[in-house]
Amino acid sequence: MTAPIGELADVLPGGSVLVDPDLLATYRYDSARDPRAGTPTAVVRATCTSDVQQVLKWASEHGVPVVPRGAGSSLSGGASGINGGVTLSLERMRDITVDPVNRVAVVGPGAITADVKSAAAEHGLWYPPDPSSVEMSSIGGNAATNAGGLCCVKYGVTSDYVLGMEVVLADGTALRLGGPRLKDVAGLALLKLFVGSEGTLGVITELTLRLLPRPAGAATLVASFSSLDAAVQAVVGLTARVRPSMLELMDRVSINAVEDMTRMGLDRAAEALLMVRTDTPGESAVEEIALIHEVCGRHGASEIYTSTDPDEGEALLAARRAALPALETLGSLLIDDVGVPVPALPSLVRRIQATAARHDVLIAVVAHAGDGNVHPVIVYPSGDCDAEARARRAFGDIMGAAIELGGTITGEHGVGRLKAPWLADQVGRDVITATARIKDALDPCGILNPGVILETGDRSPDPGS
């Protein structure tokens, strides 16, 4: 980078601009560990909106790529570094203010999502989105990727809770969008456009989030099925009648990995384990769980356990929570994220099984089954470059399978840099063109997170291809 980073250091608060190579190296990768990640020439750790504006103005003037970064927990390379670029970290902007009368939280983008949830809970309120990364991901990253989680099946995704935003455009203009209003259709839905734009249209500097009253409790059911098709039939059947607050599926590979580690007595022959929760108040949870029990039974579940006791309910979910730790004992993980219409889930899982065989890797499936959102977890021996290359080919093939089944290459992790080469296959060239037009309209110099969502074609060859 020939652009004068010193100019930026002069105008920002002391300590904002990092150029120490050891520090820069820590901002190279995000949780996707993209082998093509570059190393930023500088990292700016913004303290306020004005800092962000100065960085973007400077970057626009000098044509420097800027990678906005929250906690760096992206699983699709949305926050990985660019050689010659500046990584703009929002980790120091983490204020959280809860307004219990308006039932909103006003938060800095660097606040950890779990901290937002805790702050709301102190007022008896609830911020629903619960990505698995909740303890480490930033709320700005959640908004930038429109993060989901387990409760989406009933409560929706991050976009459904973003009422307002301050966002800085590439030219340094700070826009205020929305506010603590539950209904507002004044003008284009820019707020909804910036959510999920993965840092390619602007940098979020503040969020106003909708909070709900906390649900009373939950009843939990776990059912095992000897047939994947029967399990998905049960999902279709029960979601036609009730709205579970969680509806997860584990396949046989996941079940066995967990059983290997925990010896909790799971049925190793089962093709699918369903975990269902309902959080309707009082006795109605008992009635709903009975109905879900009946539906699972009718679809041939071999074992069904239910509980309305909170601790027992948690115990019933232990297998789901143990899935990733159990798989981590087997090797390195590449966590994919695709989605299909719910009835296509069995076909997708069979395609994933074939992909595993073809590339000689282990692939376990955990899924937010109620949403059709599937996380194939590709396991390969740590440090085995050939196996990693096969794993990355499987990662791509799974996206291809999802597209062929009328699905999506990403349900909740985002496109990032890792999945950008597949986007056109899913959405088509005309949608890519429309996307590029909007990108150009808001970021004419293309400085904001280049290579994310839309490919730039200037990356080094994928070592996995």
**C-beta of 219: minimal distance to its own copies in Å?**
12
Task: State how far the Cα of 40 lies from the Cα of 85, in Å rounded to an integer.
Answer: 5
Task: State how far the Cα of 148 lies from the Cα of 155, in Å rounded to an integer.
Answer: 10
**C-beta of 412: minimal distance to its own copies in Å?**
6
Provide the 8-state DSSP code for 158.
G
Query: Would you say 106 or 356 has its CB closer to its own copies?
Result: 106
Query: Would you say 237 or 464 has its CB closer to its own copies?
Result: 237
**C-beta of 375: minimal distance to its own copies in Å?**
12
* Cβ–Cβ < 8 Å for 377, 338: no
**C-beta of 370: minimal distance to its own copies in Å?**
8
Residue ranges of alpha helices (H) inside 42-134 are 49-62, 113-121
Query: Would you say 263 or 437 has its CB closer to its own copies?
Result: 437
Q: Which of 231, 271, 277 is nearest to 254 (CA)?
A: 271
**C-beta of 415: minimal distance to its own copies in Å?**
6
**C-beta of 241: minimal distance to its own copies in Å?**
5
Query: Would you say 129 or 331 has its CB closer to its own copies?
Result: 129
**C-beta of 236: minimal distance to its own copies in Å?**
6
**C-beta of 100: minimal distance to its own copies in Å?**
7
Strands 125-126 and 174-178: unpaired
Q: DSSP strand E in 252-320: where? A: 272-278, 303-307
**C-beta of 169: minimal distance to its own copies in Å?**
7
Q: Which of 222, 277, 225, 273 is nearest to 249 (CA)?
A: 273
* Cβ–Cβ < 8 Å for 306, 293: yes
Query: Would you say 178 or 313 has its CB closer to its own copies?
Result: 178
Structure tokens at 47: 């303290």
Dmax over CA atoms of the chain, in Å, equals: 70
Pseudo-torsion of CA 242, 247, 251, 252, nearest 10°? -80
Task: State how far the Cα of 241 lies from the Cα of 379, in Å rounded to an integer.
Answer: 37
Q: DSSP strand E in 270-312: where? A: 272-278, 303-307
Q: Which of 181, 298, 192, 287 is nearest to 236 (CA)?
A: 298
Query: Would you say 258 or 335 has its CB closer to its own copies?
Result: 335
Query: Would you say 136 or 190 has its CB closer to its own copies?
Result: 190
Residue ranges of alpha helices (H) inside 371-457 are 385-404, 420-427, 429-442
**C-beta of 441: minimal distance to its own copies in Å?**
4
**C-beta of 101: minimal distance to its own copies in Å?**
5
Cα 355 to chain centroid, rounded: 23
Task: State how far the Cα of 168 lies from the Cα of 56, in Å rounded to an integer.
Answer: 8
* Cβ–Cβ < 8 Å for 182, 164: no
- Give backbone dihedrals phi and psi of 166, rounded to 5 degrees, phi first: -110, 130
* Cβ–Cβ < 8 Å for 249, 235: yes
Query: Would you say 69 or 103 has its CB closer to its own copies?
Result: 103
Angle 239-241-242 from CA coordinates, rounded to 5°: 70
Query: Would you say 30 or 388 has its CB closer to its own copies?
Result: 30
Task: State how far the Cα of 366 lies from the Cα of 252, in Å rounded to an integer.
Answer: 10
**C-beta of 200: minimal distance to its own copies in Å?**
8
Query: Would you say 383 or 441 has its CB closer to its own copies?
Result: 441
Query: Would you say 102 or 262 has its CB closer to its own copies?
Result: 102
Query: Would you say 315 or 342 has its CB closer to its own copies?
Result: 342
Q: Which residue has the tokens 């990364």?
A: 133
